[in-house]
């Protein structure tokens, strides 16, 4: 076997290992997605493309609006460009799984790093070394196991660089056209990265050909290669946003997710970030400080790359300037992107400062150069120097391993949270026959996949089970629209005495009562030692609270009937006039503030009981059920599935989603003679 075949076999083994590792990481580290909520959106857009759509009907906005979508020109626009979702779609159609798409992304990127390093350094050995340093870095290993598009985009940008370097060196219009086509593909994946990636290419061309000889031919080739994909990009923008030069990320967010400084947010109803120039520099510094910990060799790799840079400067100036420009352009360019402030928290222990993943390509190449030079020098210097080489290797291994454990722990925590909060819901709906409508638990933001990515719908809503956003009493309209489905609502519960980590979701059957009058037959049981028991109810802004006993004992039960009507709420049993006191104060549920307030579901009916040792206590123990209801003319529309809450008074002073079945039972009914 010739030497070239040896390198080819080694490269193929590396690529196969990269593909296998990406699938293994997804299965074992991110079985329910990472903490980055963009992941399920890419899968969702892949399903949209498989259905032949690039937008969603506006009719889904109220109850089925997916995360990172927004209303634009009479439809819902998704946030991301279509190429990576298209790759996932093709993988799914071909293999019935999107996982091969992840494998393709990392194989494509790793092969690009090999090709670029071999082209610049004119060495297959260094090319393979750079590819190994790239593919086996913790940064790539983790990101390649997600459905995010960063690794694939790096592959496109790297191959574009390969094409441009060959075009400049060989005056090849064909290679220039290939670089232009790849630029167009990056534009269809990460548009801003496409623009940034061209800066190092211009630097390389200027340093390689300061006289600009042959530039016209090269630029013509680039334009010819890029033109079809630029047209596709503009056409996609026009179809999604209504404007050829407006990209979907900005349009779906109503302009809140835009470049530059000021108030920025993922969506108009999402908490904004006040992104200033000072914030930009601070976030950049924090992300860059974390970047070395994601290298193979961790912080040992930085001096190795610095040594490789020094050695490269003495040999090939254009190649070195290209690598330096590739290192600098992304942190400088992303100074104006507000979301770098969001990556700071996960820069060390999440999925890393992922906007800077393209920097790993020049770092891997420089580390390969520095590593080869250091290895040859120390190996030839004698046994003592070889010992130093061994120490450096041990430090590299241990410094890499030191960061891997905490990262795995964080991502295991994310997976465990999903196992407790979302997987039980999937198990519950799978165990129930028929067509189901499941209204997700109450959240401040109105999105499917916003909290739990695995609780997702098909874009066409044509599956046996569909998930809906909790919109309060307007859920009546939702249940009527899908009257052919059994309706359930997810509610968080914590059994009395259980630790807080045991909060879990349950499915409660949701039905509609539409009557002139609705009675709530309530049984209250004193489970503690407080002597004063107060029954209260609220319908909209109308509140009633009455003391029903001032000498209560543990285990005593009380039967109270509340009546809801167009006039409000009233106690009809026991007779209010027989009660000895009125409770002067009932605390209302806090209302959300800010842009998201208009989306928060209103809890319009509350039935509860207070247990205290004095009637004027400001922080008593309480239990209550929270229902949705609304008035429609002279009738009341009432949804039967309540949330159950317990308030633990002073000194804890906290509301908990604890089941109150033992202390408060409510049976909604229709009186015989309304």
Residue 627 lies in a domain: yes
Residues 174 and 287 in one domain: yes
For residue 3, pLDDT beyond 60: no
The pLDDT value given to residue 586: 44
Average pLDDT over residues 268-273: 82
Residues 408 and 517 in one domain: no
Of the ranges 80-84, 377-381, 457-461, which one carries the lowest mean pLDDT score?
377-381
SS3 of 108-131: HHHHHHHHHHHHHHCCHHHHHHHH
Query: Could you tell me the pLDDT band of residue 584, with boundaries at 50, 70 and 90?
Result: very low
For residue 635, pLDDT beyond 60: yes
Residue 655 lies in a domain: yes
For residue 386, pLDDT beyond 70: no
Residues 330 and 206 in one domain: yes
The pLDDT value given to residue 267: 82
For residue 501, pLDDT beyond 80: no
Query: Could you tell me the pLDDT band of residue 76, with boundaries at 50, 70 and 90?
Result: very high
Residue 430 lies in a domain: no
For residue 26, pLDDT beyond 80: yes
Residues 409 and 518 in one domain: no
Element spanning 242, H or E: none
For residue 568, pLDDT beyond 70: yes
The pLDDT value given to residue 311: 83
Residues 398 and 517 in one domain: no
Average pLDDT over residues 479-494: 92
Select from 414, 435, 455 the last residue of a domain: 414
Quick check: 465 and 547 in contact, CB under 8 A?
no
SS3 of 499-565: CHHHCEEEEEECCEEEECCEEEEEEEECCCCCCEEEEEEEECCEEEEEEEECCCCCCCEEEEEEEEE
pTM of the model: 0.90
Residues 290 and 401 in one domain: yes
For residue 33, pLDDT beyond 50: yes
Residue 236 lies in a domain: yes
For residue 213, pLDDT beyond 80: no
Structure tokens given for 540: 């909209």
Residues 150 and 299 in one domain: yes
For residue 393, pLDDT beyond 80: no
Query: Could you tell me the pLDDT band of residue 592, with boundaries at 50, 70 and 90?
Result: very low
The pLDDT value given to residue 385: 60
DSSP-assigned states of every residue in 313-335: HTT-HHHHHHHHHHHHHHHHHGG
For residue 582, pLDDT beyond 60: no
Query: Could you tell me the pLDDT band of residue 54, with boundaries at 50, 70 and 90?
Result: very high
How long, in residues, is the chain?
674
The pLDDT value given to residue 416: 86
Query: Could you tell me the pLDDT band of residue 262, with boundaries at 50, 70 and 90?
Result: confident
Residue 56 lies in a domain: no
Residue 458 lies in a domain: no
Domain that holds residue 663: 513-587+598-669
Residue 476 lies in a domain: no
Select from 398, 414, 430 the last residue of a domain: 414
For residue 371, pLDDT beyond 50: yes
For residue 599, pLDDT beyond 60: no
Select from 390, 414, 438 the last residue of a domain: 414
Closest to 330 measured CA to CA, from 128, 190, 146, 137: 190
Average pLDDT over all residues of the chain: 88
For residue 75, pLDDT beyond 80: yes
Residue 246 lies in a domain: yes
Considering its fold, how many domains does the chain have in total? Answer: 2
Note the pLDDT tens digit of each residue in 220-245. 999 999 999 999 999 999 999 999 99
Give the contacts of 564 (CB within 8 A, at least 6 positions apart).
517, 518, 519, 520, 539, 605, 629, 636, 638
Note the pLDDT tens digit of each residue in 505-545. 899 999 999 999 999 999 999 988 889 899 999 998 888 88
Instruction: Report CA-CA distances (Å) from 310 to 131, 319, 324, 492, 614.
Output: 21, 12, 11, 59, 78
């Amino acid at each position: 076997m010739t030497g070239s075949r040896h390198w080819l076999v080694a490269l193929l083994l590396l690529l196969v290992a990269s593909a296998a590792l990406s699938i293994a990481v997804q299965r074992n580290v991110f079985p329910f997605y990472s903490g980055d909520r963009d992941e399920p959106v890419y899968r969702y857009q892949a399903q949209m493309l498989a259905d032949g759509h690039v937008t969603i009907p506006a009719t889904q906005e109220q109850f089925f609006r997916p995360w990172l979508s927004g209303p634009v020109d009479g439809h819902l626009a998704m946030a991301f460009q279509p190429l990576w979702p298209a790759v996932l779609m093709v993988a799914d159609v071909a293999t019935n799984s999107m996982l091969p798409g992840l494998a393709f992304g990392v194989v494509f990127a790793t092969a690009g790093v090999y090709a670029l390093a071999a082209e610049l350094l004119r060495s297959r050995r260094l090319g393979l070394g750079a590819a190994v340093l790239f593919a086996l870095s913790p940064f790539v290993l983790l990101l390649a196991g997600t459905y995010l598009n960063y690794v694939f985009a790096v592959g496109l940008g790297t191959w574009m660089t390969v094409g441009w370097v060959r075009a400049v060196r060989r005056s090849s219009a064909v290679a220039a056209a290939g670089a232009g086509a790849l630029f167009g593909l990056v534009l269809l994946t990460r548009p801003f990265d496409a623009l940034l990636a061209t800066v190092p290419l211009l630097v390389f061309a200027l340093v390689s050909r300061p006289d600009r000889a042959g530039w016209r031919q090269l630029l013509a080739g680039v334009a010819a290669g890029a033109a079809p994909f630029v047209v596709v990009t503009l056409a996609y923008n026009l179809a999604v946003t209504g404007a050829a030069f407006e990209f979907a990320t900005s349009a779906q967010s109503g302009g809140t997710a835009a470049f530059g400084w000021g108030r920025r947010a993922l969506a108009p109803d999402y908490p904004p970030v006040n992104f200033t120039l000072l914030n930009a520099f601070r976030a950049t510094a924090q992300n860059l400080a974390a970047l070395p910990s994601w290298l193979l060799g961790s912080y040992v790799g930085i001096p190795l790359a610095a040594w490789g840079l020094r050695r490269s400067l003495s040999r090939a100036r254009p190649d070195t300037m290209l690598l330096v420009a590739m290192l600098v352009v992304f942190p400088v360019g992303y100074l104006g992107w507000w979301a770098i402030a969001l990556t700071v928290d996960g820069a060390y222990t999440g999925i890393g400062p992922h906007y800077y993943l393209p920097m790993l390509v020049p770092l891997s190449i420089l580390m390969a150069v520095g590593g080869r030079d250091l290895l040859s020098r120390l190996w030839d210097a004698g046994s003592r120097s070889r010992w130093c080489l061994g120490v450096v290797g041990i430090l590299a291994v241990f410094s890499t391993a030191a960061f891997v454990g905490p990262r795995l722990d964080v991502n295991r925590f994310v997976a465990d949270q999903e196992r407790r909060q979302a997987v039980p819901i999937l198990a519950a709906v799978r165990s129930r026959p028929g067509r189901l409508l499941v209204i997700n638990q109450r959240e401040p933001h109105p999105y499917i996949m916003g909290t739990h990515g695995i609780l997702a719908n098909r874009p066409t809503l044509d599956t046996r089970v569909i998930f809906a956003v909790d919109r309060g009493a307007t859920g009546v309209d939702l249940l009527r629209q899908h009257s052919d489905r059994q309706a359930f609502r997810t509610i968080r519960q914590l059994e009395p005495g259980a630790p807080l980590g045991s909060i879990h979701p349950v499915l409660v059957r949701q039905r509609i009562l539409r009557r002139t009058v609705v009675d709530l037959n309530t049984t209250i049981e004193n489970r503690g030692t407080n002597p004063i028991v107060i029954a209260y109810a609220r319908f909209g802004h109308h509140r009633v609270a009455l003391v029903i006993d001032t000498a209560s004992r543990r285990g005593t039960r009380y039967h109270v009937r509340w009546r809801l009507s167009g006039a409000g709420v009233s106690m009809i049993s026991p007779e209010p006039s027989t009660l000895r006191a009125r409770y002067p104060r009932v605390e209302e549920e806090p209302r959300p503030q800010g842009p998201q307030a208009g989306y928060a579901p209103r809890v319009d009916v509350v039935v509860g009981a207070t247990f205290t040792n004095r009637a004027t206590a400001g922080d008593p123990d309480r239990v209550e059920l929270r229902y949705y209801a609304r008035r429609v003319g002279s009738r009341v529309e009432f949804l039967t599935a309540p949330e159950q809450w317990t308030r633990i008074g002073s000194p804890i002073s906290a509301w908990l989603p604890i089941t109150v079945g033992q202390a408060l039972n409510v049976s909604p009914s229709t009186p015989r003679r309304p």
